[in-house]
Amino acid sequence: MFLPQNDTSVTEKQEAEKARREGYSKIEQWTIEEIPGEIRGGVTISVQEIACGDPNCSPIDTAVAIMFPSGGRGMLGIPMESKDVTKESLLEVFPTEDVLRAWSRGEEAEWPPLDDDDDEDFERPRLRFEAGQRVACRVGPDPVTGWATGSVIMLWYREPTWPANSWAPYKIELDDGRNIFAPGDVDQIIRAIDN
């Protein structure tokens, strides 16, 4: 059986929700202000709080997604609740103008910059394919029809959110325009196209 909420807990929840919404609003405004005027038109900003289960991060992070009409987009995270975000803390993690312009053109741009200094001493194994090479990639469960063709566009690809020293051997642009990565360099995942 649930006990009824008392007026104090209802008021506290309402005040917390109001502070969160006000935080979202100010972050959206600051984000818009920091995007160069000539690429600002039609930009959508989405702000939300995300609970972080990692003991090395704050319990609540604020995520800011920047989406351009071209389809380009990026995200940044601030390790605090939205009500605590200041313009200065937003600017500390804000993308550079070059990154924003790349996103506005629909291009991928790495943000935040990867910090894999420890990875420099690690020698990766030699891969079977090179950038520009045509391949077939497994994209579905059917072993016969679950393949799509494309071109390798990057070796040793990684997402900014992946743990340090985590890499996929290949990033591939499929013929239908989608970008995917191959998590392993084996024929069951990626293979040469028979010509």
Number of residues that this document lists for the chain = 195
pLDDT tens figures, 37-68: 999 999 999 998 887 665 656 788 888 989 99
pTM: 0.57
pLDDT tens figures, 109-129: 877 776 555 445 557 788 999
Apex 42 CA angle, 48 and 32, nearest 5: 55
User: Diameter of the chain by CA atoms?
Assistant: 73
Output the tens digit of pLDDT for each of the chain's 195 residues. Answer: 555 666 677 788 899 999 999 999 999 999 999 999 999 999 999 998 887 665 656 788 888 989 999 988 888 888 889 999 999 999 999 999 999 999 999 988 877 776 555 445 557 788 999 999 999 999 888 878 889 999 999 999 888 777 677 788 999 999 999 999 998 888 888 999 975
pLDDT at 94: 94
DSSP secondary structure string for all residues of 98-132: HHHHHHHTT----SSPP--GGGGGPPPPPPS--TT
Q: Are 40 and 32 within 8 A, CB to CB?
A: yes
Residue 93 Rama label (left phi>0; alpha psi -120 to 50; beta): alpha
In a 3-state reduction of DSSP, which class is residue 164? coil
